[in-house]
Structure 1
């Protein structure tokens, strides 16, 4: 016998596929849905949780459960800016700057960016959005000597474009991806619950001559973003 929560899962999924619920639309509360389906809230929550895990629905802290949009995808090949990725999928990219400061490079930053103990970096902390939905919390480190002649807006709003307009040629990147859960701080910035599934990525980007120019630590909301590999 099929469990009740599976029947509810299938029913809601079909309603979404049939267009009763549109992308971005908020569903009724779990209390109201449990009354509609005449089941306990625990049973209803099982169905909703399964739909969230499948990426069909998404929970927003303090707001409710919504029909999820198509996940933003990044092809794991070459070096591409977040802005370009989001625009290529018909969405509007934006960012919120949390902090921007000049500081001496840490040991990790020196190793990743080939700097000395006397070198400074610009450390930039921000949240990136697609259609006003937070996708990623990131901290980027950039050699200060590289961008000393640029203003803050050129760096925070369209860094890759600024580089190419000033004669730099962007080359490869090295990326490492792993799974983790959202801390209190990151969860708050990304509008998810503490412990939510996160895709963590570290990336070092290089110019075509092999010089590293950016070291980024990113945390993506697992059910709003996905990476895929493409081989030649």
Structure 2
């Protein structure tokens, strides 16, 4: 591990010897140091991409052994909070934006991210007219001989891949898949078929190689698999979408009442 110097600023007192005094005395020292640094990262006292002092310097400043420092840092690397660069040092990991989304509101990805001040882009993976899958035909009340617009894209917020989204819209509603450049819901609203309600099913999933690669995470990473059927005001099913959301970027929240 390199001895990269820490930059000036709020991290200066992170490595003070008294920083560990508030921890649980029964807890091993390396775990107290691990928890202390994790809290400093969470509170922004250590910034993304900031270099940490070297092991020797942390050990000296906090009056602990280098073995204690090494074990604490190793745990933070495994947790994804720190990253180690060969020959360079240890740095606070760049963390993807964390999004909290209410399950009670029907919004498009574009509108949802923009409402949080995040810039959005999309990378098209597929735009074509083709027969519906069995599930698409079922949810959209189509026959196997009908056609649907298949719209598959990688959704990105502030430069971070967030979701892979595959939408199917009946050809009778959307004649040309190329008509969708940004928000699908905006296009449907322009056609007089704005989605006003939806049924959504969430399930835990582990990502396969292809989707994991698109989202920039390891194969097998945890994700949320979400299927949604959206309906216009006249009750017509206008969209069936199956998406995979990165498990480390999304919290879905529902408000519950008793009775």
* Band of TM-score, shorter chain: 0.7 to 0.9
Task: Give 3-state SS (helix, strand or coil) of 1:105's partner.
Answer: coil
Contact 2:73–2:82 (CA under 8 A) maintained in structure 1: no
Residues 96-111 of structure 1: matches in 2 within 5 Å? Answer: 96-111=123-138
Matched residue, 2:193: 168
Contact 1:171–1:210 (CA under 8 A) maintained in structure 2: no
Q: CA deviation at 1:16?
A: 2.4
Q: CA deviation at 1:9?
A: 2.4
**Change over 3 Å in CA distance of 1:17–1:104 after alignment to 2:** closer
Deviation sequence 1:96-137 (CA, Å, 0-9, x none): 111222111121111011101210011122110111101101
Measure the CA separation in 1 of the matches of 2:249 and 2:230. Answer: 24
Residues 25-64 of structure 1: matches in 2 within 5 Å? Answer: 25-26=48-49, 38-39=66-67, 44-50=73-79, 52=80, 57=81
Deviation sequence 1:147-199 (CA, Å, 0-9, x none): 11x561x3141211122123223211111111111111111000111111111
Matched residue, 1:115: 142
Measure the CA separation in 2 of the matches of 1:138 and 1:58. Answer: 30
Contact 2:96–2:160 (CA under 8 A) maintained in structure 1: no
TM-score (norm 2): 0.73
**Change over 3 Å in CA distance of 1:107–1:20 after alignment to 2:** same
Measure the CA separation in 2 of the matches of 1:34 and 1:184. Answer: 40
**Change over 3 Å in CA distance of 1:33–1:194 after alignment to 2:** farther
**Change over 3 Å in CA distance of 1:17–1:220 after alignment to 2:** closer
Matched residue, 1:228: 253
Q: CA deviation at 1:46?
A: 2.5
Contact 2:149–2:168 (CA under 8 A) maintained in structure 1: yes
Q: CA deviation at 1:230?
A: 2.9
Task: Give 3-state SS (helix, strand or coil) of 2:225's partner.
Answer: strand
Per mean C-alpha deviation after superposition, the further-off stretch among 38-47 and 208-217 is 38-47
Task: Show structure 1 runs of 5+ residues with no match.
Answer: none
Aligned length: 217
Residues 112-151 of structure 1: matches in 2 within 5 Å? Answer: 112-148=139-175, 150=176
Deviation sequence 1:17-65 (CA, Å, 0-9, x none): 564422xx23659xx6699562386653333444x4xxxx488xxxx86
Instruction: Give the number of the structure whose residues are more often strand, by fraction.
Output: 1
**Change over 3 Å in CA distance of 1:127–1:69 after alignment to 2:** closer
Contact 1:97–1:156 (CA under 8 A) maintained in structure 2: no
Q: Which one of the candidate residues 180, 183, 189 is aligned to 2:208?
A: 183
Instruction: Give the number of the structure whose residues are more often helix, by fraction.
Output: 1
Contact 1:126–1:138 (CA under 8 A) maintained in structure 2: yes
1:215 and 2:240 are equivalent in the alignment: yes
Q: CA deviation at 1:225?
A: 1.2
Cα RMSD for the two superposed structures: 2.7
Contact 1:173–1:204 (CA under 8 A) maintained in structure 2: yes
Matched residue, 1:204: 229
